[in-house]
Amino acid sequence: MKAVVSVMGIDRTGIIAKVSGCLFNHGVNILDINQTIMQNIFTMVMLVEFKDDSAEYNTVMNELDGIGKEIGVDIRMQHEDIFNSMHRI
């Protein structure tokens, strides 16, 4: 299954390293990555792929929550279908 990881917050070093490190540790593949600064806010969007729909998803989500709190950015992971259904007919 695919999910979208989005990161928003004040830019600082190591954001991508922390997030991608967490994904790597759980064998989650990064399919696409896009990073911009929107209105002075660091914004990164990743499309990632899980090997299966296992409990790994929740584990990764919890770890990303922890990383977000640690480095002071807003990290969320959402099933890609929410965006597909809203923006594609």
Partner 1 sequence: MINTREIMETIKMIDDEHLDIRTITMGISLLDCIDSSAEKACEKIYEKITRLAKDLVKTGEDISRQYGIPIINKRISVTPISIIAGASDADNYVMFAQTLDRAAKATGVNFIGGFSALVQKGFTQGDRILIDSIPEALAKTERVCSSVAVGSTKAGINMDAVKLMGQIIKKTADMTAEEDSFGCAKLVVFSNAVEDNPFMAGAFHGVGEGDCVINVGVSGPGVVKAALSKVKGADFGTVAETIKKTAFKITRMGQLVAQEASRRLNVPFGIVDLSLAPTPEVGDSVAYILEEMGLERCGTHGTTAALALLNDAVKKGGVMASSYVGGLSGAFIPVSEDAGMIAAAECGTLTLDKLEAMTCVCSVGLDMIAVPGDTTAETISAIIADESAIGMINQKTTAVRIIPVIGKNVGESVEFGGLLGYAPIMPVHKESSAEFINRGGRIPAPIHSLKN
Site residue total, partner 1 (CB under 8 A):
27
At a CB cut-off of 8 Å and minimum separation 6, what does 24 contact?
Answer: none
Nearer to partner 1, 29 or 34 (CB): 34
At closest approach, how far in Å is the CB of 18 from partner 1? 20
Phi then psi dihedrals of residue 14, to 5 deg: 90, 0
Q: Per rule CB under 8 A, is residue 23 in the interface with partner 1?
A: no
Give the helix, strand, coil percentages of the chain, each rounded to 5: 40, 40, 25
Nearer to partner 1, 20 or 50 (CB): 50
SS3 40: coil
**Residues at the site binding partner 1, with contacts judged by CB under 8 A:** 4, 6, 8, 31-32, 34, 36, 38, 43, 45, 47, 57-58, 61, 76-88
